[in-house]
Amino acid sequence: MGKRPSALDRFLRFSSSLKCGLILLGLVGTAVIVGTMVLQRPMAREGQIEQIYAPQIVRLLNALGLFDVFHAWWFVLLLGLLGANIIFASLERFPQVWRLFVRPHLVADEWFVRALPFRREIPLGSRSPQEALELASRQLARLGYPARREALKHGTLYVEKHRVARLAPYVVHASLLVIFAGAIFDGVYGYRGFITLEPGMRSDTLEPLTATGRPRPLGFTLRCDAAGMEKYPDGSPRQYWTRLGIEENGREVLRKQLFVNDPLTYKGVRFFQASYGSSGAPSKVTLDAVWDEDGTAKRQTLTLRPGQPTPLGEKGTRISLADFVPDFVLEGDVVNTRSEEPRNPALHIQVARPDKELESVWLFPQAPEMNPANPTGIIFQYRSVEMAYTTGLQVAHEPGQWLIWAGCLTLTGGLMMALYLSHIRIWGVVGRDPARRGRLLLVLGGQPSKYRESFEKRFNELAGELEVAFKASPADIAEPIPA
């Protein structure tokens, strides 16, 4: 009674089986489908996920890691297990294929050749067995099928083509392992994030596109010199652009203007132009101020910037922009905004005098009837506003991408080998025809690894060429049976 296999043996056998590979491949495919159907944080705009999904769904999908499938720990684990399955399966079957590859079956006998699926028997005529084999070797070489000289020395005509096709499955397996390694490397060490900058701002950190991620240091400083939007003649956006600089140790090391499809790359970190729009805050507001000073009417044009008091007159009065609502709407007693564009602005202005308490007033330029009482004694007239615009940059660090691309190229080569190459082997030996007084024959046999129909056609063509060459011999006389 045979020894029962141990639990470890059964586990290793299952780990290397096709069934296990199909199960893991199905799980990976399901994860990829889910990652396609569920909006992924690396591809979503800020706040977009919260707008689409209910809060309880957001919490559930966050807990399962489905908002960033390709960086989730369980997806990395699935890739590792599928890679292990490929390795175990290859190790089980590869040695036999490798032996066939490095040590092909060169020498054959008549019975071996007659057992091959494709056979032809060609009379030698008056030639000796060695002369016939030499003639057949020359003819096949002329047709693009050179025979192995070391086999001829042992009385066997051996021809093969595309032996490398035997390794095609393992090239495909190796390429898949390289792709999985790149994906795992990205999942463990890669990251995606977002940076929002205004012209003149700098940042050395990014906001990760994960639910609980903390700001991640870049290792250098990103500077925004300018940002803008090009428009079509009808006013619709044509493309966004940002002029960036990279600083390290207090000096500039790189500068580039990037567009949507033209990122900036530095130290493996890529910056993509993702968005451009109003920040909702003004860069400057222009007002006219009219007031009475010692019985004289005074007028001054003020340029107010957030956080920067502007002097008014010569008695130490300072005017500040305390708040700015670009598109106000009154919700009960609360002033709110409907958009980030200054369609219906509201301004909260503060007046500081040396000898008085801080005073403030609200201005509603589009609806002056809503202006409250002005205790400052200064009449403000709104003229214009210039909004501050921000550029949104998507940041990606994908250290495994080169492995993935190398694996894809290798996979393409392996699939081409597997689909278009067939390992062809042809043997020829000299035998006797028992039905025709034992005359000498060249027994030709062949075997392809696949595509039997096309090989059969080519095999018959080669055999036909050899028959023609043998019939052209000086004396077409069967060799008599030895006494």
pLDDT one digit per residue (tens) for the chain, 483 residues: 456 777 777 877 888 888 888 999 899 999 889 888 888 776 666 667 777 888 888 888 888 888 888 878 898 899 999 988 888 888 888 888 888 888 899 999 999 999 999 999 998 878 889 999 999 999 999 999 999 999 999 999 999 999 999 999 999 999 999 999 998 888 888 888 889 898 889 999 988 776 556 788 898 999 999 888 888 888 787 888 999 999 998 899 999 999 888 899 999 899 988 888 877 788 889 999 998 887 788 899 999 988 889 998 888 889 999 999 888 887 777 778 888 888 889 899 999 988 888 888 989 888 888 888 888 888 999 999 988 888 889 898 888 889 999 999 999 999 999 999 999 999 999 988 777 667 889 999 999 999 999 999 999 999 999 999 888 744 443 443 333
Structure tokens at 160: 């093969």
- My answer on whether 356 and 397 are in the same domain is no
Residues sharing a CB contact under 8 Å with residue 371, sequence separation 6 or more, in sequence order = 361, 362, 363, 364
Question: Is there a domain that residue 66 lies in?
Answer: yes
- My answer on whether 207 and 257 are in the same domain is yes
- My answer on whether 196 and 61 are in the same domain is no
Residues sharing a CB contact under 8 Å with residue 196, sequence separation 6 or more, in sequence order = 390, 391, 392, 393
Give the single-character DSSP code of 162. -
Residue 267: CB atoms within 10 A of its CB come to: 12
- My answer on whether 344 and 441 are in the same domain is no
Q: What is the pTM of this model?
A: 0.68
- My answer on whether 62 and 198 are in the same domain is no
The Cβ-side half-sphere exposure at 257, using a 13 Å CA radius, reads 7
- My answer on whether 244 and 199 are in the same domain is yes
Q: Closest Cα partner for 89 from 15, 28, 159?
A: 15
**Residue 460: strand, helix, or coil:** helix
- My answer on whether 346 and 398 are in the same domain is no
Overall domain count for the chain:
4
The Cβ-side half-sphere exposure at 274, using a 13 Å CA radius, reads 20
- My answer on whether 311 and 374 are in the same domain is yes
Structure tokens at 431: 């035998």
Alpha-carbon distance of 336 to 437, in angstroms, equals 110
Residue the block writes with tokens 């210039």: 386
- My answer on whether 222 and 258 are in the same domain is yes
**Cα distances (Å, whole numbers) of residue 452 to 111, 456, 458:** 21, 6, 10
- My answer on whether 268 and 193 are in the same domain is yes
Calculate Rg over the CA atoms of the chain: 41
Element spanning 19, H or E: helix 18-37
- My answer on whether 11 and 90 are in the same domain is yes
Q: Where does residue 313 fall: left (phi above 0), alpha (psi -120 to 50 degrees), or beta otherwise?
A: left
Cα-to-chain-centroid distance, residue 476: 67
Range of the domain at 375: 281-387
* Final residue of a structural domain among 67, 100, 133: 100
Alpha-carbon distance of 348 to 364, in angstroms, equals 9
Alpha-carbon distance of 434 to 431, in angstroms, equals 9
Angle in degrees, 0-180, between the axes of helices 129-142 and 452-471, rounded to the nearest 10:
120
Q: Are 481 and 437 in contact (CB under 8 A)?
A: yes
Residue 270: give its domain's CATH number.
2.60.98
- My answer on whether 294 and 347 are in the same domain is yes
Residue 466: give its domain's CATH number.
3.30.310.80
